[in-house]
Amino acid sequence: MAMNSGGSENMMSEINVTPLVDVMLVLLTIFIVTAPLLMNAVPLNLPKATADVAVTQPESVTISVTEDGSLFFDKEAVTAEALDTRLALAADNKEQIVEIFADERVEYGAVADVMAAIQRAGISNFTFVMQPEAEQ
């Protein structure tokens, strides 16, 4: 800071911004700490849907995942390896649609494995089938 020496009557016209910077850093810190907490604050129940039920197309393939993680390809029990083989065969049809029926209590990892198998087969057109909510 400059000191005014002598008898001149010039006034110092600088603003001290240190308190402003301190307040801004505190606000930034509070925002950084609380922002991740706000992202997980909404409880969700994902398997429910309010959209109209779509008409199932005959060329679609269904994959079902039960609560215990068992896999079914068109109502036939399959292993993860057999699912890869069946999806590779189904991928020959470029317009192939895969419908995933997953129990609402199934582990997320089991559904992610099915999605990865669909992607490995080169199928990009898939959907999750949900039960519509009952209207009140």
Give pLDDT, residue 54: 56
pLDDT for position 132? 73
Architecture of domain 48-132: 2-Layer Sandwich (3.30)
Question: What are the distances in angstroms from CA 20 to CA 15, 30, 31, 75?
Answer: 10, 16, 17, 66
What per-residue confidence (pLDDT) applies to 136? Answer: 47
pLDDT at 49 (0 to 100): 61
Q: State how far the Cα of 126 lies from the Cα of 124, in Å rounded to an integer.
A: 6
Q: Give the domain ranges of the chain.
A: 48-132
> Per residue of the chain (136 residues), what is the pLDDT tens digit?
555 555 556 677 788 888 899 999 999 999 888 877 665 544 555 566 666 655 544 578 888 898 888 899 888 889 989 999 998 888 888 788 888 888 888 888 889 999 999 999 888 888 888 877 665 4
Nearest to 86 by CA among 72, 100, 99: 72
- The pLDDT of residue 16 is 86
Model pLDDT, residue 4: 55
pTM over 0.75: no
- Which helix (H) or strand (E) segment holds residue 19: the answer is helix 18-39
